[in-house]
Structure 1
Amino acid sequence: MSALSTDPIIAIATAPGRGGIGVVRVSGPDLLAWAQSLCGQALRARHAHYLPFRDGQGEVLDEGLALFFPGPHSYTGEDVLELQGHGGPAVLRRVLEDCLARGAAIGLRLAQPGEFTQRAFLNERLDLAQAEAVADLIEASSAAAARSAMASLSGVFSAEIDALSERIVQLRMLVEATLDFPEEEIDFLEKYQAADRLDAVTATLDGVLRTARQGLVLREGLHVVLAGQPNVGKSSLLNALAGEDVAIVTPIAGTTRDRVIQQIHIDGIPLHIVDTAGLRETEDTVERIGIERSWAEIARAQVILHLQDARHPDDPLDAEIVRRLPAGTPVLRVLNKVDLIGDHTAALGDPARVPAGVLASGGAGHAEVLRISAHTGAGLDALRARLLRIAGWTPGAESPWLARERHVRALEATREHLLLAREHASHSDQVLDLFAEELRLAHEALCEITGQFTSDDLLGEIFSRFCIGK
Structure 2
Amino acid sequence: MIIQDTIVALATPSGSGAIAILRLSGLDAITIAAEVFRSSSNKDIRLVKSHTIHLGNIVENHKIFDQVLLSVFKGPNSYTGENVIEISCHGSVYIQQQIIQLLLRKGCRMAKPGEFTLRAFLNGKLDLSQAEAVADLIASDNEASHQVAMQQMRGGFSNEIAKLREELLNFASLIELELDFAEEDVEFADRTQFKELLDRIVFVLKRLIDSFSVGNVIKNGIPVAIVGEPNVGKSTLLNVLLNEERAIVSDIAGTTRDTIEDELVINGIGFRFIDTAGIRETKDIVESIGIKKTFEKITQAQVVIYLVDSYQLINDSEQLSRLKIEIAKIKEQFPLKPLIVLANKADKLDDAQKESVLKEIENTHLLSAKENSGVEELKEQLLSFVNTGALRNNETIITNTRHYDSLLKALEEVQKVQFGIQSGVSADLMAIDIRQALYYFGEITGQVTNDELLGNIFANFCIGK
The bucket for the TM-score relative to the shorter chain is: 0.7 to 0.9
Provide the secondary structure at the position in 2 that maps to 1:126: coil
Return the offset for 1:343. 4.2
Contact 2:144 2:391 in 1 (8 A): no
Aligned AA for 1:70? Answer: K
Q: 2:53 aligns to what?
A: 48
Asked whether the equivalents of residues 358 and 364 of structure 2 are also in contact (C-alpha less than 8 Å), the reply is: no
Query: Distance between the aligned counterparts of 1:304 and 1:145, measured in 2?
Result: 23
Q: For 1:295 and 1:355, locate their aligned partners in 2 and report how far apart those are by CA, in whole Å.
A: 21
Structure 2 distance, partners of 1:329, 1:143, is 27
**Which residue of 404, 407, 410 maps to 2:406?**
410
- Closer/same/farther in 2, CA of residues 30 and 185 from structure 1, 3 Å limit: farther
CA displacement at 1:469 relative to structure 2: 0.8
For 2:440, the equivalent position in structure 1 comes to 445
In structure 2, the CA distance between the partners of 1:354 and 1:113, relative to structure 1 (3 Å rule), is closer
1:191-340 equivalence runs, <5 A: 191-211=191-211, 213-310=213-310, 311=313, 312-315=319-322, 319=326, 322=329, 330-337=337-344, 339=346, 340=348
Q: Which amino acid aligns with 2:96?
A: L
Local SS of the residue matching 1:34: helix
The equivalent of 2:76 in structure 1 is 72
SS of aligned partner of 1:24: strand
Which residue of structure 1 lines up, in the alignment, with residue 110 of structure 2? 110
Q: Which amino acid aligns with 2:279?
A: L
SS in 2 for 1:453: coil
Question: Structure 1 length normalisation: TM-score?
Answer: 0.83
Q: When the two structures are aligned, how many residues end up with a matched partner? A: 448
My pick for the range that moved more, 70-79 or 283-292, is 283-292
Measure how far apart 1:381 and its partner are. 4.9
Residue matched to 1:22 = 20
One-letter code aligned to 1:51: G
Q: Structure 1 residue 90 and structure 2 residue 97: aligned?
A: no
Deviates more, 1:256-265 or 1:240-249: 240-249
Per-residue CA deviation, residues 374-417 of structure 1 (Å, 9 max, x unaligned), is 34555545544444454544386364556322222322332232
> How many angstroms apart in 2 are the aligned matches of 1:149 and 1:10?
26
One-letter amino acid of the structure 2 residue matched with residue 33 of structure 1: T
Distance across 1 between alignment mates of 2:173 and 2:320? 64
Q: Which of 354, 361, 375 is matched with 1:352 structurally? A: 361
Deviations 1:272-328, CA, capped at 9 Å, x for gaps: 112122233444454344445444444433443343445245316963994799767
Tell me the CA shift for residue 354 of structure 1.
Answer: 5.0
Q: What runs of 5+ residues in structure 1 fail to find an aligned partner?
A: 357-370
Residue 347 of structure 1, CA deviation: 6.1
Secondary structure at 2:25's aligned position in 1? strand
Which of the numbers 67, 75, 92 marks the counterpart of 1:63? Answer: 67
Name the structure 1 match of 2:316: none
Q: Give the SS at the match of 1:336.
A: strand
Q: Which residue of 417, 422, 447 maps to 1:421?
A: 417
Q: Are 1:303 and 1:329, in contact at CA under 8 Å, matched by a contact in 2?
A: no
> C-alpha root-mean-square deviation of aligned residues, in Å?
3.2
Indicate how the Cα distance of structure 1 residues 110 and 281 shifts in structure 2: closer, same or farther if over 3 A, else same: farther
User: Partners in 1 of 2:224 and 2:183 — Cα distance?
Assistant: 59
Equivalent-residue separation in structure 2 for 1:373 and 1:442 (angstroms): 55
Identity of aligned residues (%): 35
Q: 1:155 to 1:135 in 2, by over 3 A?
A: same
Match of 2:19, as an amino acid? I
CA distance in 2, matches of 1:121, 1:416: 28
Q: 1:419, CA displacement in angstroms?
A: 2.1
Q: Which amino acid aligns with 1:270?
A: G
> Shift of residue 23 of structure 1?
0.5
**C-alpha separation in 2, matches of 1:274 and 1:159:** 39
What CA distance in whole angstroms lies between the structure 1 residues aligned with 2:280 and 2:35?
Answer: 70
Conserved? CA contact 1:118–1:463, under 8 Å: yes
TM-score by length of 2: 0.84
Q: Which runs of 5+ in 2 are unaligned?
A: 314-318
1:75 and 1:374, CA in 2 relative to 1: closer, same or farther beyond 3 A? same
Pairing of 1:42-191 with structure 2 (within 5 A): 42-43=44-45, 44=48, 45-54=50-59, 56-101=60-105, 103=106, 106=107, 108-182=108-182, 191=191
User: For each residue in 1:358-379, what CA deviation from the matched residue of structure 2 results, as whole angstroms up to 9, or x when unmatched?
Assistant: xxxxxxxxxxxxx644345555
Provide closer, same or farther for how the CA distance between residues 324 and 205 of structure 1 changes in structure 2, counting only shifts above 3 A. Answer: closer
CA distance in 2, matches of 1:66, 1:195: 57
Letter in 2 for 1:161: I
Q: Using the alignment, how far apart are the partners of 1:231 and 1:448 within structure 2? A: 52
Residues 171 and 189, structure 2, Cα contact 8 Å, conserved in 1: no
The CA deviation string for residues 74-127 of structure 1, in whole angstroms up to 9 with x for no partner, is 2122222211111222221222122223x2xx3x22112111111111222111
Q: Distance in 2 between matches of 1:26 and 1:326?
A: 56
Alignment partner, residue 468 of structure 1: 463
The SS at the match of 1:73 is coil
